[in-house]
Amino acid sequence: MNRFRAFAALLLLPLVMLPPSAFAWGNEGHRMINRLAAEKLPAEVPAFLRTPAAVSEIEYLGPEPDRWRGRLEPELVNAQAPDHFMDMEVADVVKPLPHTRYEFIADLYKAAAAAPDRARELAPERVGFQPWQTTEVYERLVIAFREWRNETAAKADTKPVEATIIFYAGWLGHYVGDGSQPLHTTIQYNGWVSKENPNGYTTGHQIHWQFEGPFVGANAKHDEVAAKMTETKKISGDIFDSYLAYLRTTNSFVEKTYQLEKNNGYIGTGNAESRAFMTERLAAGASELRDMIYTAWLQSATPEPAAKY
């Protein structure tokens, strides 16, 4: 079963059968990524975004898009489920990947027309929109920061736009967090599906939630993840290209995720290697989110060009 259909199928199950936030990093992982990113924002970022209240709100918003998967709202589920992942092995049939969502959709349809036997596999909602969704939310954050600068310069009330910025920063964190989890970047998202499986990786459908849910919830430690975060930096170059490189780095750990599962790495406290891997992946998400928020603030200093009528 592909990921899009699997998400839809989950929604048909009684709620009591579903593990909490059974989609990406679980509540604990997403909240930790968001909280650490907010706590580690540099002093150049406006002070309102670094207050305890703002940090707590950004933390709370970490799992927010997973809350939009309730079975009573099927239209919302259908529209946004593909935003949480991208099957990179399939997406790379389009080279280079375009910077806009609808160009990518059009390119996938062209690829499917040229290879009808792959049409089902190449359906856009099955491939996923992870980097486009993340970039789109990032750009919302840039615009909100720019509006805060304008409102501040005009000595206007900045409270409304500050609430918007906090929401966008927290919302962005969910997708950046998804992007640090290797199983959100691959067709092997919940059990090895390739015909070639010489290493005997699990083909069951438990690895995804087992890794990012109970294992993270029982073993992730705030201070240990914080210690693995990188130094703050401004993201240079194009934000889409940079984020895509981040996803490709995450994707390079897919097989390691399965190797650790094979060695019972996600049962209980796992082992030292699996705990270190989990810590490093959470830290990668928190570092990327912090740097994207910081870069959005710096980018917002560029004034919007005057409209030409």
SS (H, E, C) the chain: CCHHHHHHHHHCCCHHHCCCCCCCCHHHHHHHHHHHHHHCCCCCCCHHHHCHHHHHHHHHCCCHHHHHHCCCCHHHHHHHHHHHCCCHHHHCCCCCCCCCHHHHHHHHHHHHHHCHHHCCCCCHHHHCCHHHHHHHHHHHHHHHHHHHHHHHHCCCCCHHHHHHHHHHHHHHHHHHHHCCCHHHCCCCECECCCCCCCCCCCCCCCHHHHHHHHHHHHHCCHHHHHHCCCCCCCCCCCHHHHHHHHHHHHHCCHHHHHHHHHCCCCCCCCCHHHHHHHHHHHHHHHHHHHHHHHHHHHHCCCCCCCCCC
> What tens digit of pLDDT does each residue of 259-293 get?
999 999 999 999 999 999 999 999 999 999 999 99
Mean pLDDT of 122-129: 98
Please say if the pLDDT value at position 75 is more than 90: yes
More confident residue, 208 or 26: 208
Please say if the pLDDT value at position 21 is more than 70: no
CA atoms within 13 A on the CB side of 292: 36
Place of tokens 């975004």: 49
Q: Nearest to residue 221, comparing CAs of 58, 87, 29?
A: 29
Task: Evaluate whether 34 touches 173 at the Cβ level (below 8 Å).
Answer: yes
Kindly indicate the confidence band of residue 3, based on its pLDDT and cuts at 50, 70 and 90.
low
> What tens digit of pLDDT does each residue of 131-167 get?
999 999 999 999 999 999 999 999 999 999 999 999 9
- The whole-chain average pLDDT of the chain stands at 92
Please say if the pLDDT value at position 13 is more than 60: no
Please say if the pLDDT value at position 231 is more than 90: yes
Task: Evaluate whether 49 touches 166 at the Cβ level (below 8 Å).
Answer: yes
pLDDT at 23: 53
Residue 284 has which token pair? 């990668």
pLDDT at 240: 98
Please say if the pLDDT value at position 39 is more than 80: yes
Please say if the pLDDT value at position 52 is more than 80: yes
Please say if the pLDDT value at position 12 is more than 50: no
Mean pLDDT of 108-122: 97
pLDDT at 275: 98
Q: Quote the CA–CA distance of 129 and 239 in Å, as a whole number.
A: 15
> What tens digit of pLDDT does each residue of 292-308 get?
999 999 999 998 888 77
Mean pLDDT of 62-86: 95
Backbone angles phi, psi at 189, to 5 degrees: -75, -20
For residue 96, whether the previous peptide bond is cis, meaning omega lies within 30 degrees of 0, is yes
Q: What is the pTM of this model?
A: 0.92
Residue 170: partners with Cβ closer than 8 Å, 6 or more residues away: 34, 57, 58, 59, 60, 61, 62, 64
Mean pLDDT of 25-48: 96
Residue 82: partners with Cβ closer than 8 Å, 6 or more residues away: 4, 124, 125, 126, 127, 128, 129
pLDDT at 307: 78
pLDDT at 308: 77
pLDDT at 238: 97
Kindly indicate the confidence band of residue 18, based on its pLDDT and cuts at 50, 70 and 90.
very low
Place of tokens 């990786």: 201
Looking at domain 20-68+79-87+128-299, its CATH class is mainly alpha
